[in-house]
Amino acid sequence: MKLKGQEIDERLLKLPGWQYVDGAIKKEYKLKDFQEAMAFVVKIALAAEKMDHHPDITIEYNRVKINLTTYSEEGVTVKDFNLAEKIEKFIGA
């Protein structure tokens, strides 16, 4: 179920660097180099496949841009925040 603006804002408070733009939540990560960027993308891909919920991912050398939305709901849902939280943990891991 699509989240409302206030719910999105509250949840974003716990996800530093994530922003709500055009019906999606997004963040740009900067890694050390291309190898670290690709390893990060592979972790995201495995988590996404497990949850059956897939972000848009852009790789620009050591930068990885993530864009999360739920197409079937035409907006941001709890699924998007669950995956965003997982992605945040990969950086700390």
The residues that bridge with 70 in the sheet, in sequence order, are 75
What distance in Å separates the CA atoms of residue 61 and residue 41, rounded to the nearest whole number?
12
Pairing of strands 63-68, 24-30: antiparallel
Q: Compute how many residues bind its own copies; rule: CB under 8 A.
A: 26
Residues between 44 and 83 with contacts to its own copies, criterion CB under 8 A: 45-50, 52, 54, 56-61
Q: Which is nearer to its own copies, 17 or 61 (CB)?
A: 61
Closest approach, Cβ 90 to its own copies, in A, equals 8
| 4 binding its own copies? (CB under 8 A) | no
Q: How far apart are CA 5 and CA 50, in angstroms?
A: 28
CA 93 to chain centre: 16
Q: Which is nearer to its own copies, 15 or 57 (CB)?
A: 57
Tell me the window of 8-16, 17-25, 40-48, 74-82 that interacts with its own copies (CB under 8 A). 40-48
